[in-house]
A and B are shown apart, each in its own frame.
Chain A
Amino acid sequence: EAQVTQNPRYLITVTGKKLTVTCSQNMNHEYMSWYRQDPGLGLRQIYYSMNVEVTDKGDVPEGYKVSRKEKRNFPLILESPSPNQTSLYFCASRGPDRRNYGYTFGSGTRLTIV
């Protein structure tokens, strides 16, 4: 089944403790992206990657890092998490031509920083 898989689904952690949220897709998609969703603010793009070793900032990149060493994986790294990064995070991917299927999103990661 074609899908985007995120892990973990839920995480509660403490301020300052480095964490990584993994994202993997099995559709051989070039483009991957991370979003965070907060009440009243909709989905906001954090980082995106157009292909292996090509990443760029989205609208809210502060406090996050990403890497794209392999086509299928696009982990989101929080080096020193803070409570304002408590949010619902989504990873998404798509192929080079968005004409037919749009973006495929993962099931989400609910992150709580205390």
Chain B
Amino acid sequence: LAKTTQPISMDSYEGQEVNITCSHNNIATNDYITWYQQFPSQGPRFIIQGYKTKVTNEVASLFIPADRKSSTLSLPRVSLSDTAVYYCLVGAILISSGSARQLTFGSGTQLTVLP
């Protein structure tokens, strides 16, 4: 399982773009990068997933450089409601690959959005 490293916490202000970087130096060829958001006492919620280059959806963008040893979650124009813990996970994409027990969460990044 690829180990991930994220900043423990970040502060931002409303309306700013926030970039959270995750390091995963031993990422494997079959591994995808997935980000989750978790509010206090709620289950994590899937945000975005990617393999390489850039992925964008309605809530975030994910930038992955060519060596795939890191990734950056970009949240445009954050609001107070974006205050949460953000987890970066790296693991194989298909359950049939034998890595079903993966999806190991690290400590995540506590993002605090200030008014």
> Residues of A with Cβ closer than 8 Å to B?
4, 30-31, 33, 35, 40, 42-45, 48, 50, 56-59, 88, 90, 92, 94, 96-108, 110
- Do B107 and A45 touch across chains, with their CB atoms under 8 A apart? no
Q: CA of A78 to CA of B91 in the docked complex: distance in angstroms? A: 29
- Do A45 and B41 touch across chains, with their CB atoms under 8 A apart? no
Q: CA of A30 to CA of B44 in the docked complex: distance in angstroms? A: 19
- Do B34 and A102 touch across chains, with their CB atoms under 8 A apart? yes
10 tightest A-B contacts by CB? A105-B43, A102-B46, A43-B105, A42-B105, A90-B43, A42-B107, A50-B100, A105-B44, A31-B95, A106-B43
Q: CA of A109 to CA of B34 in the docked complex: distance in angstroms? A: 24
- Do A102 and B95 touch across chains, with their CB atoms under 8 A apart? no
| Chain B residues whose CB sits within 8 angstroms of the CB of A35 once the complex forms | 105
Q: Is the interface of A mostly helix, strand, loop or mixed?
A: strand
- Do A50 and B105 touch across chains, with their CB atoms under 8 A apart? no
- Do B34 and A45 touch across chains, with their CB atoms under 8 A apart? no
The contact string, 1 if C-beta is below 8 Å from chain A, for chain B 24-46, is 00000000101010000111111
**Interface size bracket, B side:** 20 to 34
| Chain B residues whose CB sits within 8 angstroms of the CB of A99 once the complex forms | 32, 49, 93
Given A45-B103, A48-B100, A98-B94, do A108 and B46 touch, yes or no (CB 8 Å)? no
Instruction: Write the chain B residue with the least CB distance to A96.
Output: B95
| Chain B residues whose CB sits within 8 angstroms of the CB of A107 once the complex forms | 42-43
Which of B43, B45, B95 interacts with A50 by CB under 8 Å? B95
